Chains A and B, each alone.
Chain A
Amino acid sequence: MTETYNMPDERGHFGPYGGMFVAETLMLPIQELNQAYQRYMEDPEFIAELDADLQHYVGRPSPLYYAERWSKELGGAQIYLKREDLNHTGAHKVNNTIGQALLAKRMGKTRIIAETGAGQHGVATATVAARLGLECVVYMGAVDVQRQALNVYRMKLLGAKVVAVESGSKTLKDALNEALRDWVTHVDDTFYIIGTVAGPHPYPAMVRDFQTVIGREAKQQCQEMTDGLPDALVACVGGGSNAIGLFYPFIDDASVKMFGVEAAGDGIETGRHSAPLCAGRPGVLHGNRTYLMEDDDGEIIETHSISAGLDYPGVGPEHAWLKDIGRVEYVNITDDEALQGFHALTQMEGIIPALESSHAMAYTMKLAPTMDKQQIIIVNLSGRGDKDMHTMAEREGIKI
């Protein structure tokens, strides 16, 4: 790539993707949000406050950890883990909720809403709402409320109201629908903190910008530790916020290969998966045009993944664009393979990854052996696995 990558355009388009496909009542609030976001991202005082919070509250910079034993075991490229699991609340999600909550405060909003799947974004939102003294309502599919009971309890402890969404498939997409309905009803005092690089413009760009701290740090740390750029980046992709956060600062570095790992569930061929980039087609959902899992009539179909955080029928529009221009290669990992990645990292490095991140680990196990020992892979360890103990135990027939 010779030109500098500069997306989206001013109306939020990444090529044919992205945009602002919302009901009329939401046009004004998203335009106001866009203005506030443009203004404060250039405001030194705002940036200083954000940076201070990231350092003292979140615990940044997160380490870039050389997984020496695992690298030797796999016998190929040297593997470095970007330790987003060590952030406060245990995942990369908080990088974004801190940023959006500070924006909400600047805009004079008193009420925060969010959607959540696995509960990580809900917890990260409830956390910052508690800290800033803002009212917080989190929408969560009724199915996810069941399978992520621990995170529901965490959110309640933090003072958030958790609403179980009973419509549709009762998962993340329905939680997003319900959050949009709440927002349209309470536009005047409410700020909607979307957890991923989806939704209408400016969310995909804004959430990306708050998450790029991952890639900026990783780039500098890699330079310091290895005297160069990595050869490959690997990250899991549900909505795609941890992946774009790692990838974005490297997009113009043509030598750096990038792999986004989608959830293949029971296998792409079974149809039971959550891999719209690998097996879906473009459409419009939740305010943007992107790759979707849908039937021939354009109805959204149910997705499947062992990890609730990847269980979403769409994907951030920038990923759709990066796929089409061939800058990022999107691959997929089944539930079973993800479990192998989970165990491998746990046993080789003493780090228990989230099931979402385990997809990136599993792909790294395929990729590393095909590369030279001098080459370097940075894998985004986007979250820790504590929240998944029940899912793992159940899957493996163990009673806790």
Chain B
Amino acid sequence: MSRLAAKFVELSNAGRKALIPFITAGDPSPEFTVPMMHAMVSAGADIIELGVPFSDPMADGPVIQRASERALEQGMSLRKVLQIATQFRSQDQKTPLVIMGYLNPIEAMGYEQFANAARKADIDGVITVDMPPEEADEYVALLGSQNIDPVFLLSPNSSDERIKKVAAVTSGYLYYVSLKGVTGAGHLDTDEVARKLQQIRANTDLPVTVGFGIKDAQTAKTVAEIADGVVVGSVVVSKIETNLTKPETAHQEIVELLTEMRQAMDS
């Protein structure tokens, strides 16, 4: 069983839901990332999504766009993200690590070389925002051959047929994008999310996490009542952005935010 699958079984047995923070690797500096990842785990994160910066982040809102730009200015790249993952893994062999980004850096490296490198870095899952199942045969096969879970996205306009198609190529968990929009946009309607989750669950047994629009502990708690996991990205990354000259403050504020979310989700 993959580390991701095992984690969801473990959580389910304990009656808990996954807290999944996202940060962009190398933002605001490469040195910031690994200690932050360990601190997020200590604050209650179950899985970490590590963003691979890309020059053209088409699905991201301004907060994560700017995080990408800062990270690229620091010389971050897919190769270096894998180095960061390796560094993290040297001290934490338990927490599942998922990298999330866009397809072109993987195309540039080559699918096979990427799958091998990701295995070597002990990555558990990969989310590629602009890779739909229609184009993913080789990608899914190569990740699968390295026991890496390809995680795909579902959206508010995904039909039953579509949910089945996406679920058929996904392992680990499904990521439900709860809003029509980019990361960090708007506020989500939790009733709407609940209805959609019902539809998704009618079509698949995979764990379903929810992301986009979760900004505080209360929303995290509400979503955790209906989903298997809660992904928090822009609100975490915005702590980095508002404290660019004081990374230790950003670190502290992220720990506090996740601690609050963890408590709310478990209460």
Q: How large is the interface on B (under 10, 10 to 19, 20 to 34, 35 or more residues)?
A: 35 or more
Which residues of chain B are near A173, meaning CB under 8 Å? 56
A269 within 8 A of B: no
B157 within 8 A of A: yes
B6 within 8 A of A: no
Closest to B135 in A: A19
B88 within 8 A of A: no
Which residues of chain B are near A298, meaning CB under 8 Å? 54, 78, 104-109
Is B69's CB under 8 angstroms from A25's CB? no
Report the separation of the CA atoms of residues A347 and B121 in the bound assembly, to the nearest whole angstrom: 63
A45 within 8 A of B: no
> What sequence of 0s and 1s flags, for each residue 70-93 of chain B, a beta carbon within 8 Å of any chain A beta carbon?
001000011100000000000000
Of A11, A24, A300, the contact of B55 (CB 8 Å cutoff): A300
Of B60, B65, B102, B182, the contact of A185 (CB 8 Å cutoff): B182
> What sequence of 0s and 1s flags, for each residue 254-291 of chain A, a beta carbon within 8 Å of any chain B beta carbon?
00000000000000000000000000001111110100
Which residues of chain B are near A301, meaning CB under 8 Å? 55
Assuming the A-B contacts A28-B157, A294-B108, A298-B106, are A287 and B130 also in contact, with contact meaning beta carbons closer than 8 angstroms in the complex?
Answer: yes
Assuming the A-B contacts A24-B132, A283-B107, are A180 and B58 also in contact, with contact meaning beta carbons closer than 8 angstroms in the complex?
Answer: yes
Report the separation of the CA atoms of residues A298 and B65 in the bound assembly, to the nearest whole angstrom: 17
Interface residues of B in 82-123 (CB under 8 A from A): 102-109
A393 within 8 A of B: no
Is B108's CB under 8 angstroms from A11's CB? no
Closest to B102 in A: A284
A149 within 8 A of B: no
Is A299's CB under 8 angstroms from B154's CB? no
Interface residues of B in 45-66 (CB under 8 A from A): 54-62, 65-66
A22 within 8 A of B: yes
A167 within 8 A of B: yes
B187 to chain A, nearest CB (A): 14
B182 to chain A, nearest CB (A): 5
Is B157's CB under 8 angstroms from A297's CB? no
B177 within 8 A of A: yes
Is A297's CB under 8 angstroms from B78's CB? yes
Is A300's CB under 8 angstroms from B104's CB? yes
Which residues of chain A are near B257, meaning CB under 8 Å? none
Of B105, B159, B181, the contact of A299 (CB 8 Å cutoff): B105
Which residues of chain B are near A184, meaning CB under 8 Å? 59, 180-182
A69 within 8 A of B: no
> What sequence of 0s and 1s flags, for each residue 181-193 of chain A, a beta carbon within 8 Å of any chain B beta carbon?
1001111100000
Which residues of chain A are near B152, meaning CB under 8 Å? 24
A134 within 8 A of B: no
B24 to chain A, nearest CB (A): 14
Is A284's CB under 8 angstroms from B107's CB? yes
Interface residues of A in 324-353 (CB under 8 A from B): none
Which residues of chain A are near B185, meaning CB under 8 Å? 185
Which residues of chain B are near A25, meaning CB under 8 Å? 155-157, 177, 180-181
Closest to B181 in A: A185
A101 within 8 A of B: no
Of A29, A168, A284, the contact of B104 (CB 8 Å cutoff): A284
B239 within 8 A of A: no
Closest to B59 in A: A23
Assuming the A-B contacts A24-B177, A168-B55, A286-B58, are A297 and B79 also in contact, with contact meaning beta carbons closer than 8 angstroms in the complex?
Answer: yes
Which residues of chain B are near A286, meaning CB under 8 Å? 56, 58
Is B105's CB under 8 angstroms from A23's CB? no
A21 within 8 A of B: yes
A323 to chain B, nearest CB (A): 18
B131 within 8 A of A: yes
Report the separation of the CA atoms of residues A297 and B103 in the bound assembly, to the nearest whole angstrom: 11
A20 within 8 A of B: yes
Assuming the A-B contacts A25-B155, A181-B61, A298-B107, are A187 and B132 also in contact, with contact meaning beta carbons closer than 8 angstroms in the complex?
Answer: no
Report the separation of the CA atoms of residues A289 and B104 in the bound assembly, to the nearest whole angstrom: 9
Report the separation of the CA atoms of residues A168 and B68 in the bound assembly, to the nearest whole angstrom: 10
B19 within 8 A of A: no
Pairs across A and B, CB under 8 Å, 20 listed: A21-B135, A22-B130, A23-B155, A24-B132, A24-B153, A24-B154, A25-B180, A167-B65, A168-B56, A168-B65, A168-B69, A177-B56, A184-B59, A185-B181, A187-B180, A283-B107, A284-B102, A297-B105, A299-B55, A300-B56
